[in-house]
């Protein structure tokens, strides 16, 4: 699967209600060891409630300058959340979440921000 | 940061967000020479339109993709999958501001057009086979 086919899809909960747009896909390099790097495992998806686009990940890290831009983007992406891969029930024209899906903070670990 | 108090996630390894850390990044070969840019990413197959098994292993990155994306970025869509060159993830050795490969760019199919232009056009121009003096 090509990742750009997944990004920008609508994300629906188990009742079919739109909960946001898929704006990014999170990988963790903790898979099977490879020749140089371990496998990059798909950990989850970043869902934005407000917009289908994102800009420099301001809503996911501790960057706070330029102040006005940071505040605007923080406001625009308010309520963004991470959903683990195992909480995805099906993918077709949209991403369907399981009834038990959990909203997690989309923040990046501080050492990567 | 998000203004909603969702629980923080814990990670066992380095975290990469595709759009933030991978797309459009320059890729350097083992000598530090620019090779291509990451235009897209291919992950292992995900069944479309079928229920996903929560116990199944999550997909992994199989390849970095590079290809003719200028027109599709302007007008929408993406190039056919067959037009995209695939660089297997196993060749990636480091990820920073740029991605670094553990192989020479000459070994990649993604750089064949540059090699063709160098050998068939630039190389036939007098003085085209050595550095400027």
Segments forming the whole domain that contains residue A44: 3-104
**What total number of domains does chain A contain?**
1
| B23-38 core/surface letters (b: 16 or more CB in 10 A; e: else) | bebebbbeeeeebbbb
On whether residue B16 sits in a domain, the answer given is: no
Q: Which residues of A touch B55 (CB under 8 A)?
A: 86
On whether residue B72 sits in a domain, the answer given is: yes
Confidence band (pLDDT; 50, 70, 90) for A56? low
Phi, psi torsion values for B37, nearest 5 degrees? -115, 150
* Nearest-by-Cβ selection for A2 from B1, B20, B65: B65
ipTM: 0.81
Q: What is the mean pLDDT of residues B40-44?
A: 94
Find the DSSP H helices in chain B.
70-75, 112-120
pLDDT of residue A112: 45
Those of residues 21-80 in A touching chain B at CB distance below 8 A are: 23-31, 34-44, 46, 54, 56-57, 59-62, 74, 77-80
Round to whole Å and give the CA distance between B104 and A92. 39
Segments forming the whole domain that contains residue B90: 36-46+57-124
Round to whole Å and give the CA distance between A40 and B13. 9
3-state class of A32 per DSSP?
Answer: coil
Task: Read off the CATH number of the domain in which A15 is found.
Answer: 2.30.30.240
Round to whole Å and give the CA distance between A110 and B11. 12
On whether residue B61 sits in a domain, the answer given is: yes
* Nearest-by-Cβ selection for B19 from A7, A34, A38: A7
Percent pLDDT > 90 in chain B is: 40
On whether residue A112 sits in a domain, the answer given is: no
Task: Read off the CATH number of the domain in which B93 is found.
Answer: 2.30.30
């Amino acid at each position: 699967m090509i990742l750009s086919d997944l990004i920008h899809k609508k994300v629906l909960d188990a009742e079919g209600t739109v909960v946001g747009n898929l704006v990014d896909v999170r990988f963790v390099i903790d898979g099977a060891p490879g020749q140089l790097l371990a496998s990059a495992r798909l950990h989850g998806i970043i869902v934005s409630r407000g917009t289908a686009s994102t800009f420099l990940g301001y809503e996911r890290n501790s960057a706070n300058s330029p102040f006005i831009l940071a505040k605007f983007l923080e406001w625009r992406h308010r309520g963004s959340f991470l959903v683990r891969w195992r909480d995805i029930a099906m993918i077709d024209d949209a991403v369907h979440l399981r009834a038990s899906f959990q909203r997690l903070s989309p923040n990046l670990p501080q050492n990567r921000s | 940061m998000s203004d909603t108090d969702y629980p923080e996630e814990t990670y066992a390894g380095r975290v990469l967000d595709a759009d933030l850390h991978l797309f459009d990044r320059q890729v350097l070969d083992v000598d530090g020479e620019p090779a291509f840019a990451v235009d897209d990413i291919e992950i292992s197959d995900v069944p479309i339109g079928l229920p996903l098994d929560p116990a199944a292993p999550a997909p992994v990155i199989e390849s970095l993709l590079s290809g003719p994306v200028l027109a599709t970025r302007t007008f929408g869509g993406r190039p056919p999958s067959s037009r995209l060159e695939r660089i297997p993830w196993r060749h990636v050795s480091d990820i920073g501001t740029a991605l670094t490969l553990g192989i020479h760019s000459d070994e990649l199919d993604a750089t064949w057009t540059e090699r063709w232009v160098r050998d068939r056009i630039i190389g036939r121009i007098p003085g085209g086979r050595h550095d400027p003096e």
